[in-house]
Amino acid sequence: MLTLAEMAIRANDPLEKGIIRLYAEHSDILTGLPFKSIGGNAYTKKREKTLSGVGHRSVNEEYADSTGTQERISEDLKIMGGKALVDRFIIKTAGPDSNPVAEEVESKVKAASMFFNKTFIKGDGTADTESFDGLENRLTGAQVLDMGDTVGGDALTLNALDELIDTVGSPSQLIMNTWTRRKINQLMRASGQAFEYVKNDFGKLIPYYGGIPVALVGVDNTFSEIMAFDEDDNTDEAALCTSIYAVKYGADALHGIQHSSIIVDDQGIIGNSRQIVFDWYVSFIINQPKAAARLRGIKKV
């Protein structure tokens, strides 16, 4: 499995290399999420459901017969991408310090990266069959922790955040909005601590909480807040809350799936415009329940 930064290094085509890097540069999630390339249009595997029984036995007695059980999980790939169009008039009349094609491609990829962030968190494959399900719609049962049971939500505490981390074990990322990151920083300063900051592969400073990188999720491609304070509280009485997600990446945890790397097709001038199409056949899969968890019902206070 490879991250997008690693895929960009291996790409031979300069345009493809640049587009892959742009995807990761504009998404903290995509900076860390590894991808497995698969054949076909879906990924299927067996997941451990229950362990085989063990125990003590008496002398001259047999162990009780017991076998573990598995379940089959499957995830379909979805098509994500866009088309960059630049009128040849703009190309021909651009000044020496301007590259309108590169500017349009970067703008389009930035939008696609922000769209991926939204789908990774909020995607709903039932309401939109062209989309894959995001974390909000996948996580259930013990994977969802309640901040409290107050109508309108409850104030975030570091104890609750630590419980979220313990639910996953060793998270690869904590995913949250920028207000929540500031709130955690406030709580840490009050206890004599502070975030540690480390540069990622693209030179961006990433905050770390307890040694875990924080992936910040801002707006989507329509400039709407992705993890806004518009989620139901834990009583389903008021939509005034947000969440934090803890995710563990890896082959036996959570990882992306793709048919191949991002496909870039420079179609040249068609009609009156230079056209560059990029497709990504993509989704993600959670291979075991402890690979992701959600702390919900966080009030803005």
Domain CATH for 199 = 3.90.1690
Q: Confirm whether 168 is domain-assigned.
A: yes
Query: Per the structure block, which two tokens stand in for 33?
Result: 């999420």
Are the CB atoms for 131 and 125 separated by under 8 Å?
yes
Query: Per the structure block, which two tokens stand in for 148?
Result: 């409290």
Give the pLDDT of residue 213.
96
Q: Which domain range does residue 133 map to?
A: 1-42+73-301
Please provide residue 65's backbone torsions phi and psi, each rounded to the nearest 5 degrees: -65, 130
Query: Per the structure block, which two tokens stand in for 166?
Result: 């313990």
Separation CA 101–CA 253 (nearest Å): 39
Q: What is the pLDDT along the chain (301 residues), one digit of tens a residue?
A: 899 989 988 888 888 888 888 888 899 999 999 999 998 999 988 777 777 888 888 898 988 888 777 778 889 999 999 999 999 999 999 988 899 999 999 999 999 999 999 999 999 999 999 999 999 999 999 999 999 999 999 999 999 999 999 999 999 999 999 999 999 999 999 989 888 989 887 788 899 999 999 999 999 999 999 999 999 988 888 899 999 999 999 999 999 999 988 888 999 999 999 999 989 999 999 998 899 999 999 999 9
Q: Confirm whether 85 is domain-assigned.
A: yes
Q: Which of 86, 27, 63, 15 is nearest to 263 (CA)?
A: 15
Total structural domains within the chain: 1
Q: Confirm whether 47 is domain-assigned.
A: no
Sign of CA dihedral 77, 284, 232, 227: negative
3-class DSSP string for the chain: CECHHHHHHHCCCHHHHHHHHHHHHCCHHHHHCCEEECCCCEEEEEEEEECCCCCCCCCCCCCCCCCCEEEEEEEECEEEEEEEEEEHHHHHHCCCCCCHHHHHHHHHHHHHHHHHHHHHHHCCCCCCCCCCCCHHHHCCHHHEEECCCCCCCECCCHHHHHHHHHHHCCCCEEEECHHHHHHHHHHHHHCCCCCEEEECCCCCEEEEECCEEEEECCECCCCCECCCCCEECCCCCCEEEEEEEEECECCCCEEEEECCCCEEEEEEEECCEEEEEEEEEEEEEECCHHHEEEEEEEECC
Are the CB atoms for 194 and 208 separated by under 8 Å?
no
Q: Confirm whether 53 is domain-assigned.
A: no
Give the pLDDT of residue 29.
96
Q: What is the pTM of this model?
A: 0.89
Q: Which of 15, 29, 183, 194 is nearest to 115 (CA)?
A: 29
Instruction: Give burial (CB, 10 Å; 0-12/13-18/19+) of 18.
Output: middle
Separation CA 30–CA 220 (nearest Å): 14
Q: Confirm whether 157 is domain-assigned.
A: yes
Q: Confirm whether 55 is domain-assigned.
A: no
Q: Confirm whether 134 is domain-assigned.
A: yes
Q: Confirm whether 1 is domain-assigned.
A: yes
Separation CA 179–CA 158 (nearest Å): 15
